Amino acid sequence: QLQLVESGGGLVQPGGSLRLSCATSGFSLDYYAVAWFRQAPGKEREAVACLSSNILIANYAEAVKGRFTISRDDAKGTVDLQMTSLKPEDTATYYCAKDPAPYRPCDLGWDYESWGQGTQVTVSS
């Protein structure tokens, strides 16, 4: 069965760093792109970053570009999101999901499936 489990969230001060991990199962990361999303209270869910199945294409939301890095750890079967220079505006629940179609470059505007339960990131002093 398809499953994605997010972890790594927590409380961090502005300017700090945090690494999120999306553990995947039931599909091959060599076939499907995976994306990270976030949703803050009262706001729409927004795409943060995505990584193609060949890990050669990565896209980032303008708000996080240069601060966040998406990567894949094949040994662990995870898609990670390294977040640096965190701002209070980054506070949200972060989710990961997979592209329903295989062998596509990732696109932040596409629909994704098999959402995890999310992990909370709070940036506050």
What contacts 24+ positions apart, CB below 8 Å, involve 60-67?
61/108, 63/89, 64/90
Structure letter (DSSP) for residue 114: S
How do residues 23-52 score in pLDDT, each as one tens digit? 999 999 999 999 999 999 999 999 999 999
Q: pLDDT at residue 113 above 90?
A: no
How do residues 10-26 score in pLDDT, each as one tens digit? 999 999 999 999 999 99
Q: What local confidence, expressed as pLDDT, does residue 10 receive?
A: 98
